Amino acid sequence: MNAIRPVAYASYGLLGLPLAMAALPVYVQIPAYYSGQLGLALGLTGWVLFLARLVDTFQDPLLGRWIDRLNGNISTWFWGSAAVLALAFLGLWLPPVPTTNTMYLSLWLAAMLIAAYTAHSMLNIAYLTWGARIDAGSASNEQGPLGAAAWREGAGLLGVILASVIPSWLMSRPVATMSRDLTGYSLAFAAILLLAVLVLLKFAPAWQRAKASATAPSWHATWALMQAHQGFRQLLLPYFLNAISVAIPSTLALFFINDRLQAPAYAGAFLASYFIAAAIGLPLWVMAAKKIGVLCAWRWGMVLAILAFCGAATLGAGDIVAYFMVCIAAGLALGADLALPPVLLAQLIRQDSSPASYFGVWTLLGKLALALSGLALPALAALDYQPGSPAGSALAWVYAGVPCAFKLAAFWLLTRIKTDPAGVSS
């Protein structure tokens, strides 16, 4: 088999850009937008996020199972999911309901979140499954997934840089032009998303079906296989704890910047520096994984993240330079969290199994972590924090201290993994 050309990997990876553009506002900017700009109560915003994310969480294994049963032609799946995501993205930014009516606004937010989450999951699970099945045509069966992950996450980081800078800039413009500006931004997102789907379907390495048979095994058989897979089970809890450690700061980042650091003018620059650092670190983590093993490289990434967020917990008003340093260090560590866990899972999946079902369970845990992170908002409301007012130490420790605890627990669990049946290096 001939080795896959870089242009084919790039064609696969391009879809990571709009998927990341959609994910960042939903997870980072929408909570602050609805509670700060549109006036929805902080506690209510958190509960809507939690419940909408909870609905999304438990549909992922079903979507993964559905994808495993697709009969080769996945074009309709990608086009339909992309259309729904584009419409939900527009609806999130431009709610056609009175912002003074709390009930209508919260219901609209819940509906658009569920639509965006569902469409994003439909695209993302199929997309990850596609990458896990890529065969690089080399002696090492991990080079295909590693190459796919590098291009996918690299494009994704570019997407989050765009999504961190542009909305922050739009929010700083006159209120009278905000509706027009957000409409243009949403339409540009839709165009990028549909172009990426077209490029994926036309020029990426072909979608590979499971080799075992034309018929996917029953759900019961697939579940039993996953339960019996020791390596898969070993990774689930540390992956979940690590996902929580990433989700909480993502949910609270803008609140921390605006009210703890009191530096809202720097919000776009902070987010951009974080994701640019992740983009720089991504190829470094991939190279490290090839030399010392994927599992070991991921553990070193966790150490760097812990050091960064321990520093963030001590910051206060005006600590702008110090927070830029935190963003750069945490961003470098983010590259490991983005690229390496999916590769670990891809290494564990056997060719005769149902990979989308594994990714469905995998993304379920990530979504559950995001759902739980939404509860940080009502918790802060209970601690008397309100958006727009100077924040005390409670926000700093929930934003940075709590994630460090989860990251330490995940690191400790990963240190207990030496080898596994798939040969994941420690």
What secondary structure does DSSP assign to 263-314, as a single string? -GGGHHHHHHHHHHHHHHHHHHHHHHHHHH-HHHHHHHHHHHHHHHHHHHTT
Dist CA 204 CA 149 (whole Å)? 13
- Please state the domain count of the chain: 1
pLDDT at 190: 96
The whole-model pTM stands at: 0.71
CATH number at residue 11: 1.20.1250.20
**317 occurs within a structural domain:** yes
Give residue 224's domain range.
6-206+216-415
**221 occurs within a structural domain:** yes
**145 occurs within a structural domain:** yes
User: What 3-state class would DSSP assign to 418?
Assistant: coil
Q: Phi-psi bin for 140: left (phi > 0), alpha (psi -120 to 50), beta? A: beta
**163 occurs within a structural domain:** yes
CB-based contacts of 224, cutoff 8 Å, min separation 6: none
**292 occurs within a structural domain:** yes
Please provide residue 372's backbone torsions phi and psi, each rounded to the nearest 5 degrees: -65, -35
Q: Map tokens 């009502």 to a residue.
A: 378
**421 occurs within a structural domain:** no
User: What 3-state class would DSSP assign to 231?
Assistant: helix
**151 occurs within a structural domain:** yes
Closest CA to 299 of 327, 331, 341: 341
**424 occurs within a structural domain:** no
* pLDDT tens series, the chain, 426 aa: 456 677 888 889 999 999 989 887 677 788 878 887 888 888 888 888 888 888 877 777 777 777 777 655 688 899 999 999 999 999 999 998 887 888 899 999 999 999 998 999 899 888 887 887 776 444 344 455 666 777 887 788 788 888 878 887 887 777 778 888 899 999 999 999 999 999 999 988 877 665 544 455 555 666 666 666 666 777 888 999 999 999 899 888 888 998 889 888 888 889 888 888 888 888 888 889 888 888 889 999 999 999 999 988 888 888 999 999 999 999 999 989 888 888 887 777 655 456 667 777 777 788 788 888 888 888 888 888 877 776 678 888 899 889 999 999 999 998 887 644 444 444
pLDDT at 107: 93
Do 362 and 129 meet the contact criterion of CB atoms below 8 Å apart?
Answer: no
pLDDT at 214: 46
Q: Map tokens 């958190």 to a residue.
A: 46
